[in-house]
Structure 1
C-alpha cells in the first residue's frame, strides 16, 4: 500500500521531545495513524526505539528485539511488526501466553534444566490447522496460542515409544506439569506435542467410546496415561479424567457468563506458571525411596496448602493434594481422593535451644540428640468440622524413622478419600527420646490441621 502524501515540515529538538512523550501514550495502531499524518512524525515514530521497546515488552514479553522464529531483528519496531504478524490474530491472548511461558521457561531453566531443554519450537498456524483437521474440530484460540509459543515437550521416553521400545528412561519424570507418588501410584504429566496430541486424542476417543461429537483434546498426560488432561473445545475448559476415564473433573473455573474468549486453557496454564514461579512446587524425587525419580513435585511447599507445627523440637510438615485420576464423580459413586506428604525433622540443636521454655522446644530444656517415631494418630473431619473417622497405628508406611538434629527430612506419602469436596485432617505422631532400642521419654508431635478441599485449579 502506497504511503499517503503527508506534509514535510521539520520539527526542532524541543518539539521532537514533546512529541516523543505524547507518542509514548499511544497504542501501536494510533502510532501508525500518526505516521500517516506528517512526514517528520513518521520519522519520529519509526526512529523512536523506546516506544517500540515498550510495546514489545507489554504485548509480547520481549526482552530483546528478536524474531518469533529466532534470530535478531533490526530493532524493536521491526520485532514488533514480526510478532504482530505471527501472533496478531490472538489479540491479548498472545501476550498472556508469552508471559506465562516466560515464567515457566525461567523457572525450569533455573531449577530443572532437563525440562527447559524439552520444550519444542512453536507450532506454525499450518501445523495447528492440520491438527484441527485430523481431530475433526477446532481448538480454542487459548490453546492454539500456547502451542504457537512451544509445541509441547519432546522427551526421550516418547521417542523410545515411537520405535516400540519400552525401556525405562528418566525422562518419564520430566513432565512440565509435575507429578507425585504414593504407594505404587506414580505420575508425571508432560505436555504432548501436536502430533502426539492428535494421536492420543483419537486413541482415547476410540478406546474409551466417547460420545459422538465429543471435543475433548488430550494435550497432557503421564507416561502411562494414568493421568489424562483435556482441553474441551466445546467450552474451552481444562478437564482431567477421573478413575473411570470417561467422566472428568473441571480443572479451572468456568468462564464469565458470555465470555467469547473461552480462555480456560490459558487461565489454567497461567495459574500453573504463577504457582511454579512463586515456589509452590519443588524439584525432588517423586518417590521418596527412589532417588532416580526426580521431577516437579506437586505436593504444595507453601501455606495455605502446607501446614506446619513444631513440638519439642520435632517439625512436622503436611502437604495434601487432590488426585483427580483416582477421584470418581459419577452420580451415586462420588469419592474424592487425596494424597498427603508428611515430613519429619528434628531441629538443629541451636534452634532447639532458642525454643527452650516454649511448647515448640524440648521439654527437658536440653536439646534432643535423637528421637524415633513409634506410632501415629489421625482425626478426619467433614466440611462442617465433625469428626468422621479416627485412625491409630504403628509406624508410618512400615517405617520407624530415627531423627537427628539438622539432618534431612524423612518424608512419606499416604492417601485418603471422602464423599464430599471439602474436609480436613489433623493428628499427632508418638516419638520416643533416644531410639526404640534405647527408649527414653515419649511425647506426641502435633500435625497441624490441613485442608482436603477440591481447589479451583487442579494440576
Structure 2
C-alpha cells in the first residue's frame, strides 16, 4: 500500500515519525500528500520537538501565521548552522530560562535579546577572531546579561553562573553582552598582558568585588579561567571538547556550550541552588547534595558541608602549589530540638570547633579553637540554617575536611546540661572537572 492509499490518521502518524525534512519532500509528490504534509497539528509537533515552542513564534519571539511558517522562519534564520546544533543551543537556553523563571526571575530579567549576524561579524572584525559556531549561536539567542555598569538591577548578585564568598572574597559571575566582550577583552590585552593574536576573548566575569575572568579560546574552543599567577586552567574537560562541523567542513569547538549545559544540569538536579541572605538572592556554587555535600545529624543538630575551588587566588607555580578552596558550613537544629539523654532542648549554642584537614589522605593540619569566624551561633529548633564560609589552601588537587563542633544545650549564658559533640562528616576538596 502506498502513502496515498493510507488513511488520514495513519498518514499523520507516518509523517510525524519521518520528521520535518522528509515531510517537506513528501509534500512534493501529490496534491493529497501536500495537504496532509501541511497539516498544522503535524507542524506543531515538529515545532515542539525541535524548538520547544507551543505557539507559532519566529526566532525573535514574534508571532508567526502558522506552525509551518514558524518552522520555516527558524530554518531560514539559521540556515548557515548545523540544525542539530541549533536544536542543542535552543534546548540549553530553554533549560536555563525555565529554571530561572521558576527559581530566580530577577536574574532571568537581566538576559538580553539575541544579536544579529552583523553584530557577531563586527565583534570578529574588531577583535580579529573567528568565533566558534556554538558561541555564535549562543549569542544569537541571548546577548549575555545586562552588566552591573549598565543596569542597577544586577548589583553584583544576579549573575546566572553564580558564585561564592569567603571572608571578604566575593565572586558572582555573569555572562557578558557582546559590547562588554569587546571592552573587557581589550582591557585584558592591556592589563593582563596577553597578545591580540592569542585569539582569547573574555566571555564572563565576576560582578562582585573579587576579580574572576573566563576566557574563550577561539582557536581551540576551550574555556579558561586564570589563576593569581596568570596560569590558564581549562574549565571543561579537554576530552569532552568535541568537534562539530559547519557546512564548509571547518571544525568548531563547543566548550562554552558544554559549560552552560553542565551548569543547567546542576541547577535542574538541585546540586546548586539559589541562596538568600539578608534579603539578597544569588546562585550559590556550594554543592547542596551528596556526594559533593556531606550531611550529618548528631543529637538533633544537622551539619551540611561542601567546598568550591577558587582558581583566581590559586598559585600553581609555587613548589608546593597552593590550591585554594572555599568551604561552606550550614548548621541547624531539627524541629524536635536537640535530644540528650532523652531530654529535648529547644536550643543549643556552639562553643568549640575541631577540624582535621587532609591532602592526599595525609593529615596536614589539626585545628582546635573557640567559635567559628568569631561567632558562637545559637541554634533554635526548626529555624533556618546558620551558614558560614571560610577557605583554605592545599598542596595537592585532592583533599578533605572533617571534624566536630562542641555545643551546649540551651545557651552559653544559660546551659541546660553538659557539652556534647556534633559530627561534621568528611567533605571533599577536589580540583573539579568543570570550573565555574
TM-score by length of 1: 0.87
- Indicate which of 138, 147, 158 corresponds to 1:146: 138
In structure 1, stretches of 5+ residues that fail to align are 1-8, 161-167, 353-360
Deviation digits for residues 321-352 of structure 1 (CA, Å, limit 9, x no counterpart) = 11121223336463211111101111112xx5
Q: Which residue of 2 aligns with 1:430?
A: 406
1:28 shift after superposition? 2.5
2: CA distance, partners of 1:408 / 1:67: 45
Q: Which residue of 1 aligns with 2:247?
A: none
1:213 shift after superposition? 2.0
Deviation digits for residues 219-260 of structure 1 (CA, Å, limit 9, x no counterpart) = 11012560111211121122112123x322211112458734
Q: Which residue of 2 aligns with 1:70?
A: 61
The answer to whether residue 339 in structure 2 is matched with residue 362 in structure 1 is yes
Kept in 1, the 8 Å contact 2:3–2:11? The answer is: no
Shifted more, 30-39 versus 129-138: the winner is 30-39
1:283 shift after superposition? 2.2
The answer to whether residue 168 in structure 2 is matched with residue 184 in structure 1 is yes
- Larger proportion of strand: 2
The residue correspondences of 1:259-270 to structure 2 (distance < 5 A) are 259=243, 260-270=251-261
Deviation digits for residues 156-183 of structure 1 (CA, Å, limit 9, x no counterpart) = x3216xxxxxxx8762211111011110
1:320 shift after superposition? 1.0
The answer to whether residue 11 in structure 2 is matched with residue 19 in structure 1 is yes
Cα root mean square deviation, aligned:
2.2
Distance 1:72 1:317, change over 3 A: same
1: CA distance, partners of 2:289 / 2:29: 55
Q: Which residue of 1 aligns with 2:226?
A: 241
Deviation digits for residues 180-231 of structure 1 (CA, Å, limit 9, x no counterpart) = 1110011111111001111111110222111452112111101256011121
1:139 shift after superposition? 1.0
The residue correspondences of 1:205-244 to structure 2 (distance < 5 A) are 205-211=189-195, 213-223=197-207, 224=209, 226-244=211-229
Distance 1:111 1:256, change over 3 A: closer
The answer to whether residue 50 in structure 2 is matched with residue 59 in structure 1 is yes
Q: Which residue of 2 aligns with 1:282?
A: 273
Distance 1:331 1:50, change over 3 A: farther
The answer to whether residue 364 in structure 2 is matched with residue 388 in structure 1 is yes
1:311 shift after superposition? 0.5
1:76 shift after superposition? 1.4
Distance 1:450 1:396, change over 3 A: same
Partner of 1:441, secondary structure, is coil
Shifted more, 274-283 versus 395-404: the winner is 274-283
2: CA distance, partners of 1:333 / 1:443: 38
Shifted more, 109-118 versus 221-230: the winner is 221-230
2: CA distance, partners of 1:253 / 1:315: 35
Number of residues paired by the alignment? 425
2: CA distance, partners of 1:137 / 1:270: 24
Distance 1:313 1:10, change over 3 A: closer
1:50 shift after superposition? 3.0
Partner of 1:444, secondary structure, is strand
TM-score by length of 2: 0.92
Kept in 2, the 8 Å contact 1:180–1:299? The answer is: yes
Shifted more, 82-91 versus 369-378: the winner is 82-91
1: CA distance, partners of 2:96 / 2:428: 27
Q: Which residue of 1 aligns with 2:187?
A: 203
1: CA distance, partners of 2:169 / 2:329: 17
2: CA distance, partners of 1:305 / 1:217: 31
Distance 1:29 1:331, change over 3 A: farther
2: CA distance, partners of 1:366 / 1:90: 68
- Indicate which of 311, 317, 320 corresponds to 1:330: 317
Kept in 1, the 8 Å contact 2:241–2:255? The answer is: no
Q: Which residue of 2 aligns with 1:320?
A: 307
